[in-house]
Structure 1
């Protein structure tokens, strides 16, 4: 089934309305879809490098909007839909481990986790289930998703197809280094 879903996404990446298909994938991935929108973002940027900024912006905004659906699932329907989604993707243990992190680090943990390839649906559903402040959730989601999608799009724009394999194989490493540098920068500014 996952292969069929992947093949369907690749077909949509070549469609004349591909950017809107990417927006839909980005929206639903934030709450229940199994495949990240990067798989559509990458070919779209490679096909139209001069439009990288617009493509990353659409992907980011759709992901943040979809995050509200995930938040609502966690907030209002955790015992039914939320649990079913977590069970489907085997995220129950990660969900339980996420609560103390949210309690201790607040928006920072959403920024860090939301920028990495950790399933964003886990973050959005958990934020709703834990009744995390919606304004902070919105801010953290915008920062996290923009960091992720704009970084990938910018790398593809700057380096083109040769960077594609690197990004696809090492997305976790790229995003982790980026997040560490940003957090270190914020800490440095705070200490000075």
Structure 2
């Protein structure tokens, strides 16, 4: 069973689509608020397919991700009770918000950097930062640095590895896909306690 090989070919076709930068920008924006699909899923194949535009794609992803983060912050700040809290309850994310609050208590602004650079769900922290009324300008600056580092690193790795990396990736794509699924299930089980 090789679903990830087929999905990879499909994503590579989307990566060279003439509207791919628009899709990347939209995905980057909504991923910072509520969307579960990481930006890297689009950014990496786009940078690999068109290495001459990799830095432009990384910049687009960064800018739109931080704009989405600002919107998520404003939702948490101004619309928590009427809009966000019911959504959180419907999705069963109360525990994740509680964890985010604890992380803010423990690490302060560094939690924004951690969430913006690592695979930790950034969206939870953008909304929670607004709810906790974190200072907005430091929130934006740290988000810009963290997201920028992440997306430029992804693009840089794709440019550096190029076709050679793609050939190796294709050979292991299904194994990597199943490992990611297993890691996601494990993370869910650990975080849902």
Scaled by the length of structure 1, the TM-score of the pair is: 0.75
Cα deviation per residue 1:127-168 (whole Å; 9 max; x = unaligned)?
000000001101110111112111111111101224685997
Count residues with an aligned counterpart: 165
Aligned partner of residue 15 in structure 1, secondary structure: coil
The CA distance in 1 between the partners of 2:91 and 2:161, in whole Å, is 34
Task: Tell me, yes or no, if the aligned pair for 2:16 and 2:49 is still in contact at 8 Å.
Answer: no
- RMSD of aligned C-alpha atoms? 2.7
Q: Any unmatched runs of 5+ in structure 1?
A: 1-5, 171-192
CA separation of 1:152/1:167 partners in 2, compared to 1, >3 Å: closer, same or farther?
A: farther
For CA contacts below 8 A with separation 6 or more, give which structure has more relative contact order. 2
Aligned partner of residue 96 in structure 2, secondary structure: helix
> Which one has the largest radius of gyration?
2
Post-superposition offset of 1:99: 1.6
Match of 1:126 in 2: 128
Cα deviation per residue 1:20-63 (whole Å; 9 max; x = unaligned)?
11001100111122212211101110111122111101100000
CA separation of 1:50/1:72 partners in 2, compared to 1, >3 Å: closer, same or farther?
A: same
Match of 1:137 in 2: 139
The CA distance in 1 between the partners of 2:176 and 2:110, in whole Å, is 24
Equivalent of 1:20 in 19, 22, 29: 22
Post-superposition offset of 1:119: 1.7
